[in-house]
Amino acid sequence: MKFQIVARWMVLAAIVLVAAQAFAAPVNLVCAGVFNNIDELHITFDEESRTAFLGKDTASPASFTDNNIKWSGSFDYMVSHPLQVDYNLNRISGILTVTFSDRRTWDFNCVVAKKKFQSGANRIF
C-alpha cells in the first residue's frame, strides 16, 4: 500500500517536471504577411526569461498572459526618425499585430516553426 502511494507521488512529480521543462522551452514562430517587401518574420519567445527576439535583434522584455504576448522595440525608418513599434501576438488566433508610432499597422499570421532559424536569417527590424 505504501509503495503504491510513493509510486503515485513519484509519477506525479515526474509529470510536473516534464511539463515544467516543456513550458520553459523557447518557442520559434514564423509569421507570414507583407511589410516593406518582407513577407516573413522570425520570432523566438522565451517565457521563462520573459523575452522576445525578432530576427537577429537582441532580446526585448515581453509580457506574457494566457491570451497575448506583448513587447516593444524601435525601427529606424530614417536615421533621424526612429519609430516606436509595439508588437501584440494573440496566442489564441496566432495573429501578430505590429503597430508603429505613426499609427501604421500590419498583421501577420504566425505558426510554430519546424526548426530553429538559421543564423543567416535576414534581420527584419
Residue 64 in any domain: the answer is yes
> What is the spatial distance between Cα 29 and Cα 7, in angstroms, rounded to a whole number?
38
- The boundaries of the domain holding residue 108 are 26-112
Query: Residue 57 falls within a domain, yes or no?
Result: yes
Number of structural domains (the chain) is 1
pLDDT on residue 79? 60
- Is 37 inside a domain boundary? yes
User: Is 107 among the domain residues?
Assistant: yes
Please report whether residue 79 resides in a domain.
yes
Give a yes or no: residue 125 inside a domain: no
In a domain, 101, yes or no: yes
Split at pLDDT 50, 70, 90, the class of 17 is very low
In tens, the pLDDT along 61-114 reads 999 999 999 999 887 666 667 788 999 999 999 999 999 888 889 899 999 987
Position 38 in a domain: yes
pTM here? Answer: 0.69
